[in-house]
Amino acid sequence: MNAVTIYHNPACSKSRQTLELLTAHGISPTIVLYLTSPMTADQLKDLLTKLLMRPRQLLRTSEDQYKTMQLDELNLPDSVLIDAMVKAPHLIERPIVVVGNRAVIGRPPENVLTLLT
């Protein structure tokens, strides 16, 4: 199996549950604490490609900063949304697990099992 990476927020229960699920399956993933080590725009674009998602789909719309930064404007270009997530990484949905060229969001945590087969 390819290396497994988790973009992890230890304060998030789903992120903790996803990490526990991986370890229960004998996997010791590389843990990226993306809040303290934010991604670059290029890294985020690469991650979006692996997720098969558009930037808007990766945004946490319930965050106060989502509204403060006026990200609810539906006509914003992808580059603006990516820049917002780079500047405010807590806007990124979590956790994200990557295996090779594929990635999923661990909501629910069992979603990551699709990457392990």
Q: Which residue in this structure is represented by tokens 């997720």? A: 51
Residue 90 to residues 27, 66, 95, Cα–Cα distance (Å): 25, 10, 11
pLDDT of residue 15: 98
**pLDDT at residue 2, as a whole number:** 84
CATH superfamily of 4-115: Glutaredoxin (3.40.30.10)
- Nearest-angstrom CA–CA distance, 100 and 49: 12
Residue 86's pLDDT is 97
List the domain boundaries for the chain. Answer: 4-115
Residue 44's CB is within 10 A of a number of other CB atoms, namely 21
- Give the pLDDT confidence score for residue 104 in this predicted structure: 98
Q: How many residues does the chain have?
A: 117
Q: Which of 6, 7, 12, 16 is catalytic?
A: 12
Inter-CA distances, 116 with 3, 62, 98, 99, Å: 11, 30, 10, 8
- The answer to whether 62 is a known catalytic residue is no
Q: One digit per residue, pLDDT tens: the chain, 117 residues?
A: 689 999 999 999 999 999 999 999 999 999 999 999 999 999 999 999 999 999 999 999 999 999 999 999 999 999 999 999 999 999 999 999 999 999 999 999 999 999 987
